[in-house]
């Protein structure tokens, strides 16, 4: 019914990839760059160390949602307008997952990937890569050689995450 197709993707390689991560570094205050990362602190003593590794990768996929498309869909379907933003983000998440699966299985040995949510100066990003104002960045997926194994995470149990009801329920 909706077929919004609001997700937009830009793939950066070479100097474009490095320039993006330079913009991320430039947008963070020194206190943040020197801080211990909240994720993967087992591998990095400072946020700047983590950003250096991301910058050293092969490339970065930037994910956006086209807000003009989202808004137009909301206007076209006012009954569903309160849910359109959520569905847009779900669509973006599916695209991110599809790209992750595609890239992680594209070569042997597999590429390392990570989904990040840095907030570089969007004016600089828009200017550098001619990105329309109505595209809202939802994430960045740098990829390259595997530098570290993923940090082991404590996962919630299936009984907390999934409920099953059948004829015997």
In this prediction, residues 48-75 reach a mean pLDDT of 95
What is the per-residue pLDDT for 46? 81
The count of C-alpha atoms lying within 13 angstroms of the C-alpha of 101, restricted to the half-sphere facing its C-beta, is 5
Q: Characterize 129-139 residue by residue with b for buried, 16 or more Cβ atoms within 10 angstroms of its Cβ, and e for exposed.
A: eebeeebbbbb
Lowest mean pLDDT among 6-20, 60-74, 143-157: 143-157
In this prediction, residues 75-103 reach a mean pLDDT of 96
In this prediction, residues 9-29 reach a mean pLDDT of 95
What is the per-residue pLDDT for 33? 80
Query: In whole angstroms, what is the distance from residue 131 CA to residue 148 CA?
Result: 32
What is the per-residue pLDDT for 1? 59
In this prediction, residues 53-60 reach a mean pLDDT of 95
What is the per-residue pLDDT for 35? 78
Q: How far is CA 139 from the centre of its chain?
A: 3
In this prediction, residues 136-146 reach a mean pLDDT of 96
Identify the residue whose tokens are 């990105």. 131
Residue 127 CB neighbours (<10 A): 10
What is the per-residue pLDDT for 60? 98
* Percent of all residues in the chain with a pLDDT value above 70, rounded to a whole number: 95
Structure tokens at 1: 């019914």
- Do strands 135-144 and 112-113 pair parallel, antiparallel, or not at all (unpaired)? antiparallel
- Structural domains of the chain ordered from first start: 7-161 (3.40.109.10)
What is the per-residue pLDDT for 167? 96
Please, what is the average pLDDT of the chain? 91
Number of H helices, E strands in the chain: 7, 4
The dihedrals phi and psi of 96, each to the nearest 5 degrees, come to -60, -45
Identify the residue whose tokens are 């009801």. 165
Q: Does pLDDT of 42 surpass 70?
A: no
């Amino acid at each position: 019914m909706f077929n919004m197709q609001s997700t937009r993707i830009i793939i950066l390689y070479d100097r474009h990839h490095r320039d993006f991560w330079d913009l991320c570094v430039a947008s963070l205050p020194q206190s943040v760059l020197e801080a211990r990362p909240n994720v993967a602190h087992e591998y990095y003593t400072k946020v700047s160390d983590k950003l250096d590794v991301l910058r050293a990768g092969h490339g970065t996929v930037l994910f956006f949602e086209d807000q003009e498309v989202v808004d137009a869909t909301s206007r076209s379907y006012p009954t569903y307008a309160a849910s359109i933003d959520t569905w847009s983000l779900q669509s973006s998440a599916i695209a991110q997952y599809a790209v992750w699966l595609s890239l992680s299985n594209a070569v042997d040995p597999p590429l390392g990937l990570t989904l990040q949510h840095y907030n570089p100066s969007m004016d600089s990003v828009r200017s550098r890569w001619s990105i329309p104002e109505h595209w809202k960045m939802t994430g960045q997926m740098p990829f390259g050689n595997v530098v570290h194994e993923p940090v082991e995470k404590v996962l919630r149990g299936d009984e907390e995450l999934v409920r099953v009801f059948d004829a015997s329920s």
